[in-house]
Amino acid sequence: MNKINVQLGTLIIFISIVGCETTGKPSSSSSTVDQSLSTIEDVVQSSTAAVTSPTGISQIGLVDILVHRLGVSPQQALGGAGAIFQVAQSNMDPQAFATLSKSIPGMSTMLGAAPAMSGLGGLSSIAGGSSSTVANVSGLAASFQQLNLSPDMVGRFIPVVTNYVRQTSDQATADLLQSALTAR
């Protein structure tokens, strides 16, 4: 037991001496470790607070969430979210969409970044009134292709977007968005 204590003590002294030699000034290795741990704790606490609180989620921003979760570029995230909101806007009551817009920071920027959905009207008339979901998905797939995203990314974007709306607004607004995207 004493041999282990002596070895441990020698190791601590050695680390302290090496630390002093590399910086050229005496330093307490325990204070350096304490400062590092304090910094790490601060980062973890602020990140946890940002993710768990609805206001923190909105501060992070939908585009940032899409970039990190889906591995897309910021421009693709901005345009893809905008395309989703364009479809929602075309299928929602204007007052309901205004409520949705107020809960999403940067909505006008996202809508502006969305590729034009040319041909959506033609698809709607071909699909008929009962299958506008097919037209919505086809229009979104075409928009995503203009952003150099594969059409299957539509199915990965929508859950992230609706979850974000649920966190920044409420369940009712998220349900309105979901029903607008699957309008029949």
pLDDT single digits (tens) 67-76: 999 999 999 9
pLDDT at site 121: 46
pLDDT at 169 over 50: yes
pTM over 0.85: no
- pLDDT, mean of residues 37-53: 42
pLDDT bin (cut points 50, 70, 90) of residue 147 is very high
Cα–Cα dist 66/184, whole Å: 27
pLDDT at site 117: 77
Burial annotation 73-110 (CB, 10 A radius, 16+ → b, else e): eeebbbbbbbbbbbbbbbbbeeebbebbbebbebbeeb
pLDDT bin (cut points 50, 70, 90) of residue 30 is low
pLDDT at site 36: 44
Of 91, 113, 88, 114, whose CA–CA distance to 169 is shortest?
88
